[in-house]
Structure 1
Amino acid sequence: MTGVEELDPALVHHIVNTLGWPGLRPLQQEAVAPLMAGEDAVLLAPTAGGKTEAASFPLLSRMAAERWTGTSVLYVCPLKALLNNLLPRLETYTAWLGRTAALWHGDVTATHRKKILANRPDVLLTTPESLEAMLVSANVDHASFFSGLRSIVIDEVHAFAGDDRGWHLLAVLERLQRVVGRPVQRVGLSATVGNPEDLLHWLQGSGAGKRPARVVAPHLSEPQPTPGALPPGDIQLDYVGSVDNAATVIAALHRGEKRLVFCESRKLVEELGEKLLIKGVTTFLSHASLSVDERRRAEQAFAEARDCVIVSTSTLELGIDVGDLDRVIQIDAPATVASFLQRLGRTGRRAGTTRNCLFLALDEAGLLAAAALLLQWSRGWVEPVLAPPEPRHIAAQQVLALCLQEHRIGDRLWQEAWNGLNHFGAAAHLIVRHLVEEGYLDQDGGMLFIGPETERRFGHRHFMNLTAVFTSPPQFTVVHGRREIGRTDPDLLTEEVQGPRKLLLAGRSWLVTYIDWRRKRCFVEPADGGGKAKWSGAGFDRGASFALVRAAREVLLGADPPVVLTKRAVACLAEARDHFLQHVHPGGTVIARSATGHLQWWTWAGHRTNATLAATLGAVTAPAQQTNGCWIRLREEVTPQVWKQAVADSAEHLCLPDVDDRAVRGLKFAEALPARLARATLAMRLADFEGAKAVLAEPVRFVTDFS
């Protein structure tokens, strides 16, 4: 077996004899040397590429060789379900060397946590939120517990890096490193991304440029099959026109196979799941508003069944094992090429099978989005993973968490906790001053400590809400007898209805029998159809990207993705091209009147670019319009001469987009920032200056009468 010379002999024995592997995969071979040497690394491979073993085998070998004691390796994941899924594997691998692994997250019982604190495992699997909860808990002696820490593995690191959980994770790792008193090796496991070197630099945090590091991605140097060379039928794009028709197609096609269907909303998961069940298809559901037990039952039943379907949001996109899949079906299109690659990678894992995906578009917009995504994928393009700019609200949260962790800290020493990590420490002076002025922090004798406003806003349940950096909208727990089914939007319980109130949850209709408003619990009984599903969106939506919306314009101009298009898809694309004939031009952007007489600038530039352009050209754009990725509404009095002057005046002075107050309220910890900083944070995240400059440099074609 090649590539194992440095691994522990006992480990090699089990790899060969217990796992029955003839050798290590290329990623696993190439990861051995840098990880054994203590280097930071990002291990890049498609789904099911053996990343867990690529990280764990060298680190366990190093653990044995250097005789690490206590909890020496942390394995951090974005999802509790992924941790649950990984635990048996890591327990097996650690046991081969006489070591142990354990799980610590929000669903782990207090009794089990006490056992972990009394007998520290060698490998601890956890989430960033649980890790910070350990740091601030009065029940955990964090200095003692983490004293043996040597290495941290961050699974699905790309999923962290693209949003605020990434900044939270980095800040917690810096505080943890401060507690340990030495640099801690960081190993990120990632699916294919467009900028792996940038991802590695980000992951290193304060150690970037100071510690040895490398990207390990052998598959990127191998010849890649072109999409046009894929076996016929592996990637198909179909137009079905409705959820009813999608259910009919799924029920009729691929009978006897195990099918995973991805939807882009919980509401659509419920509606499609219900229609499949009505058609007699063995169907399971998975999304974030179903109870943990409900999801586990569905995922386990799906893993053990054969002729069945599981309908899911992105919760099953990451590496949770649901057994061997025959087929992935995508309703409309995922938001990114990276998501598509993750989902595509759930298939083709068995010998003799290939990766495949069937797209079912519900409407013209869904078909265009899918065609655009497949066109970009066919070119080998994947989104770069970029951390959101200016995480000021996370800096505020971190200062509060640090004071909770240390009880009190010097008003000139707090900034050292993050080892110089950008955006934290010295850069947060204005934020700390605001926290003191507003009572979130008290200041006395040169020390900072938790103030009454922090106690009031975040003190519930031992400050649990302070360690979670994402906002969950209020939901009611739905209960049938003693069984928790999931959670639903309170709007469904308050809106006026004719007749009995019914909910759709777990693919079934439920009659509401009683609502406990104080405890936010809704009691139900089974009903025969008629239920409704609804969940309010949470967080800050950046919308479709510049690259994908521009690809949609290319599709309308005649470009077809090199996949199998059904006759229905071909016909719908032809109609779309005719529909948008006056709104696309290969040489630049278009200004035209809509059917309702409004003046529209068809930029095809994405939400963020259009928001930036609308703010920059405020003199000619209609006020208070809702941003979309395709066009911007202009003022009715705009003429070509007025337009030309406005562009000339604004090209060198790009403006930050306007921010809705509702979006500010959706930013977790925004109340701990000065109002202007909260708005500026969101404005920076909505802006796309590069895209705006590119659009302003393009010619504009007027296809309307200005006489």
Structure 2
Amino acid sequence: MTTYELLSEPIRKYIRDKRWDSFRPIQEAAIQRITSTDNNYILISRTASGKTEAAFLPILSKVNFKESGVKVLYISPLIALINDQFLRIEQLCNYLDISVTKWHGEASKSKKEQLLKNPNGILLITPESIEAMFCNKPHNVVQLFSLLEYIVIDEIHNFLGSDRGLQLQSLIHRLQQKSSKKVSVVGLSATVSDANQYVELKSFFGNPDHTKVIRDTTPKPINADFRYFDSNSTELPLDLLKDLYKETRDCKALVFPNARGRVEEVAVKLKKISDKVGGHQNYFSHHSAVDKETREYVEFFAKNTNQQNFTISCTSTLELGIDIGNVDKVVQIDATHSIASLIQRIGRSGRRVGKDSNLVLYSTDSWSFLQSLASWLLYQENFIEPVFISDKPYDVLLHQILSIVKSSSGIEIEKLYLQVSNNPAFLKISKNEVLSLINHLIGLDFLEKIGNEIILGIDAEPLVNSKDFYSLFKTDTFLKVVNSGNKIGELPLSPQLIVNENVFLSARIWKIIDVDFKSKKVEVIPTNDGKKPLFFGNSADVASKIREKMFEVLTSKTDYDFIDENSRFALFELQKEFSFLKIENLKKQRPVLIKEKSKIFYTFSSSKVNRTISFLLTLNKIENRIDESSSSIELINESFSVDDFTNILKNIEKKEIEKQLQMLLAFEKGQEMLDFSKWAIYLPLEMQIDLIKTKYFDFNEVKNFGETNMFVKYK
């Protein structure tokens, strides 16, 4: 039987009406397998390769939607992606007379109520809305999902290795327990290429033996172009902006800087250049702080314009699969923090069949260029950062315990333990640890024990009843920005928000005329007074493999013919600085630059390793500072020797580290180490220390680093 014949007649009609000549490789493989088994599947294929249809064509052909209840649950990391996919899935479902419903904070209330009265069809939702449903409408969870058969997780890589991902893993298990049918899960991803990650992906679904990976390895031609413009300023060089304007003026382009402030700077300044030379007006900014209606207009414009060119300067909000039509070119300004992110961004261009992807990578300093080059080389080697999944996510467990108790309105301790101990997210946490955490929460008045049962405690109620409870990720505090009563967007709470300062927002420059911190509102007016606007930036951790590749490039004599002359000169200058090192083993040796009053250790390792080394040095009363751009640690103590440094790394005593962390956590400054987690502040001290050691630091890797790395000195 052909793949086409495996599909139901309504789906075959949809395909005929779309005039498809053939299926994409991922669709061909997925249809064959999903229609014939009830396994879980992970579909891995590049962006715009038809993964959504690969999942839904066989599922819609297989499931009996005449039965009551929601049959398919689609989970997305973004509301915008749900809104985008809703139209796509609804068009497909019209052929089968299946209803499709959106369920999130911005979705129609009447549509939700209609679904509750008559549960059916397909539901599109975020993890946070599932959490809210468990907490506030536990009876509706059973009503909606008691006959659930499929869960489809879009952009699954976006969840892996995060607290939000562990929350989703827990919620999937809880949903599966509510259904009387076997619930199969299909995950969609564009950025998993390392077979070693398949084990972690399969474990995510809780049933590794019945989870299969289908991967389309069809390569996509990519034209990459490196440009270098040195900058000693916080603003982008004018020559770079002029070059960027020429590069993007006659096409449809996405520009990815690495911070919201930079996004706005690009949009504003490109528009100014275009105005001067009589170019088009279609320059936009797109990030989470831009007003929702403005973002949706930008998406609509990009998707529906055929003749007009445009340039959208954006953050990761357009990195995922939101459909904005055909993009001719993607531009990256300075290095991405991860190769996974680079892959997503590359995939935004060349989506039309037969079209190459076009990528331009700008750099504004030599180390950023080196990181961009290293990332590109690793991308060509099909490397993607391994996902770190915590064995003992105590903070997520705490959150889920409160959620389960809230949804049950009282539960026996043993039943609560059984619920969490069978949950794939918490399999490595022992019974004693679970019971210890429950007793700790009772001691905090987060839980209250009544006989054999526990209920929500008085001090937990304000937290659990808040909308902020449903999400596991931490968000900045934002102030609404308005002009004459019209909302422009949002800006993060910052001491920089001062009256008469200028800010970039929504591709314009505004002057702050009033800041009301109590009502969280900033009043602005348009301005062109020439005053430099405030710059809001951000940073992210970088993996060891990227740093190691940077070191390899530094010590290599390879001529990279795809970089421009400025890039080649910047690389030559860096290589010259390290050229007289006697490096015989790139894995085991690292350089030390000896200056008059300091020593600089180039670790060429991950952000976590650098952070851990810096912490250990501080404990030994050695003043130091990290330069993440060059992956180096400067020791501001001329009497400190290389041997001293090596001994500190080798002699990491577990008890001493825990003692020092315990002392630090007693102070407010030490509590800042817990900022990576939303719920860690409520954990027992020993669990806080364990989380810090595994999520914030990496003592095991640093100990290995100290034992295997010799330091080669140079002046």
Normalised to the residue count of structure 1, the TM-score between the two structures is: 0.89
Return 604-613 or 353-362, whichever deviates more: 604-613
Q: 1: distance between equivalents of 2:98 and 2:399? A: 36
| Distance of aligned partners of 1:71 and 1:200 in 2 relative to their CA distance in 1, 3 Å threshold | farther
What's the counterpart of residue 235 of structure 1? 224
Matched, 1:337 2:339: yes
Rounded to whole Å, the distance in 1 between the matches of 2:448 and 2:354 is: 65
Q: Residue 238 and residue 679 in structure 1: after superposition, are their counterparts in 2 closer, same or farther (change >3 A)? A: same
SS of 2:325 mapped into structure 1? coil
Give the structure 1 partner of residue 523 of structure 2: 523
User: Contact 1:69–1:148 (CA<8 Å) still a contact in 2?
Assistant: yes
Output one character per residue of 1:449-506: Cα deviation in whole Å (capped at 9) or x when no partner: 11121123343xxx311111111121101122343221112325655x6xx2332211
1:507-535 residue CA offsets vs partner (Å, 9 max, x unmatched): 21223333343321222222225363454
The percentage of counterpart residues that share the same residue type is 25
| Superimposed CA distance per residue, residues 70-110 of structure 1 (whole angstroms, 9 cap, x where no aligned partner) | 21100001011111110011111112112111111111133
Distance 1:404-1:646 versus aligned 2 partners, 3 A rule:
closer
Is residue 605–residue 691 contact of structure 1 (8 Å, CA) maintained in 2?
no
SS at match of 1:511: strand
Q: How does 1:282-361 map to 2 (within 5 A)?
A: 282-305=282-305, 306-361=308-363
Which residue number in structure 1 is paired with residue 710 of structure 2? 699
Q: 2:267 aligns with which of 262, 268, 273?
A: 273
How far is 1:119 from its partner? 3.0
- Partner residue of 2:132? 133
1-structure distance, mates of 2:582, 2:543 = 18
The DSSP-based 3-state class of the residue aligned with 1:479 is strand
Give the C-alpha shift of residue 195 in structure 1: 3.6
- Following superposition, the deviation at residue 700 of structure 1 comes to 2.5
Number of matched pairs: 683
What's the CA shift string for 1:549-576, capped at 9, x where partnerless? 1111122213558561111111111122
Residue 106 to residue 584, structure 1, CA distance change in 2 (3 Å): farther
Task: Kindly provide the amino acid, as one letter, of the partner of residue 164 in structure 1.
Answer: D
What amino acid sits opposite 1:416 in the alignment? L
Name 2:90's counterpart in structure 1.
91
Closer, same or farther: CA 502–30 of 1 in aligned 2, 3 Å: same
Q: 1:670 aligns with which of 680, 688, 691?
A: 680
Cα distance 1:449–1:564, how it changes in 2: closer, same or farther (>3 A)? Answer: same
Q: In the TM superposition, what whole-angstrom CA distance separates every residue of 1:55-74 from its partner, at most 9, and x where no partner exists? A: 0011111114x854321100
Following TM superposition, by how much is the alpha carbon of 1:682 offset from its aligned partner in structure 2, in angstroms?
2.4
Alpha-carbon distance between aligned partners in 1 of 2:437 and 2:621, rounded to the nearest angstrom:
35
Q: Tell me which residue corresponds to 2:155.
A: 156
Structure 1 residue 262: Cα displacement = 0.7
Residue pair 1:372, 1:555 contacting (<8 A) in 2 also: yes
Query: Over residues 307-341 of structure 1, what are the superposed CA-to-partner deviations in whole Å (9 max), with x where a residue is unaligned?
Result: 22000111111111111111111101211112111
Q: Structure 2: how far apart are the matches of 1:698 and 1:534?
A: 39
Q: Distance in 2 between matches of 1:12 and 1:75?
A: 22
* Alignment partner, residue 176 of structure 1: 175
- Identify the residue that residue 667 of structure 2 maps to in structure 1: none
* Residue 551 (structure 2) pairs with residue 553 (structure 1): yes
Q: Deviations over 1:371-398 (max 9, x none)?
A: 1111212222222233245321111111
Structure 1's 144 and 636: CA in aligned 2 closer, same or farther, altered over 3 A? same
Q: Distance in 1 between matches of 2:478 and 2:369?
A: 32
Structure 1 residues 75 and 668, CA, compared in 2 at 3 Å: closer, same or farther? same
Using the alignment, how far apart are the partners of 1:561 and 1:608 within structure 2? 31
Is 1:453 the equivalent of 2:464? Answer: no
CA distance in 2, matches of 1:241, 1:116: 57
Aligned mate of 1:683, from 693, 697, 701? 693
Separation in structure 1 between the aligned mates of residue 303 and residue 62 of structure 2, nearest angstrom: 34
Report the CA distance shift for 1:618/1:671 in structure 2 as closer, same or farther (over 3 A).
closer
For residues 415-564 of structure 1, what are the structure 2 equivalents within 5 Å?
Answer: 415-418=417-420, 419-423=422-426, 426=431, 427-459=433-465, 463-491=466-494, 494-495=497-498, 500-529=500-529, 530=531, 532-535=533-536, 543-558=541-556, 560=558, 564=562
* C-alpha distance in structure 1 between counterparts of 2:548 and 2:368, whole Å: 15
**Structure 2 counterpart of 1:237, which letter?**
F
Unaligned runs of 5+ in 2: 275-279, 665-669
What amino acid is aligned across from residue 488 of structure 1 in structure 2? L
CA 1:559–1:254: 2 relative to 1, 3 Å: farther
* 1:260 is aligned to 2:248: no
Amino acid at match of 2:458: P
Superposed CA offset, 1:578-628 (max 9, x none): 344467835343453454621222221222223344556778782564474
TM (norm. structure 2) is 0.88
Q: 1:644 to 1:82 in 2, by over 3 A?
A: closer
CA contact (8 A) 2:617 2:624 kept: no
Partner of 1:631: 632
Q: Distance in 2 between matches of 1:559 and 1:453?
A: 63
Contact preservation (8 Å) 1:612, 1:692: no
Partner of 1:106: 105
Q: CA RMSD in A?
A: 2.9
Partner of 2:31: 32
**Pair 1:218 & 2:207 matched:** no
> Which range moved further: 235-244 or 484-493?
484-493
When residues 61 and 648 of structure 1 are mapped into structure 2, their CA distance, relative to the original with a 3 A threshold, is: closer
Q: Provide the rounded CA distance (Å) in 1 between the counterparts of 2:114 and 2:516.
A: 36
Whether the 8 Å CA contact 1:390–1:684 is kept in 2: the answer is no
| Matched residue, 1:410 | 412
Kept in 2, the 8 Å contact 1:70–1:120? The answer is yes
Report the counterpart of residue 277 of structure 2 in structure 1.
Answer: none
State the one-letter code of the partner of 2:714: V
Letter in 1 for 2:597: G
CA distance in 2, matches of 1:643, 1:133: 50
Tell me the distance in 1 between the aligned counterparts of 2:181 and 2:413.
24
Q: Is the 8 A contact 2:600 2:634 kept in 1?
A: yes
Which structure 1 segments of 5+ residues have no match? none
Q: Secondary structure at the match of 1:491?
A: coil
Q: Following the alignment from structure 2 to structure 1, what is the Cα–Cα distance between the partners of residues 248 and 612?
A: 46
Q: Distance in 1 between matches of 2:106 and 2:57?
A: 28
Q: Secondary structure of 1:152's match?
A: strand
CA distance in 1, matches of 2:685, 2:650: 33
Distance in 1 between the 2:703 and 2:650 partners? 14
CA distance 1:49–1:649, change in 2 (3 Å): same
Q: 1:251 to 1:615 in 2, by over 3 A?
A: closer
Cα contact 1:302–1:309 (8 A) shared by 2: no
Distance 1:624 1:576 in 2: 23
In the superposition, relative to structure 1, how do residues 561 and 508 fare at CA in structure 2: closer, same or farther (>3 Å)?
farther
Are residues 238 and 2 of structure 1, via their aligned partners in 2, closer, same or farther at CA, if it must alter by over 3 Å? farther
Contact kept? 1:583, 1:592, Cα under 8 Å: no
Equivalences for residues 201-216 of structure 1 within 5 A? 201-205=200-204, 207-209=206-208, 212-216=210-214
Amino acid at match of 1:288: S
CA contact (8 A) 2:673 2:696 kept: no
- Larger displacement relative to structure 2 (485-494 or 24-33): 485-494
Check conservation: 1:602, 1:631, Cα contact below 8 A: yes
Q: Contact 2:228–2:364 at 8 Å: present in 1 too?
A: yes
Decide whether the 8 Å contact of 1:260 with 1:327 is kept in 2. Answer: yes
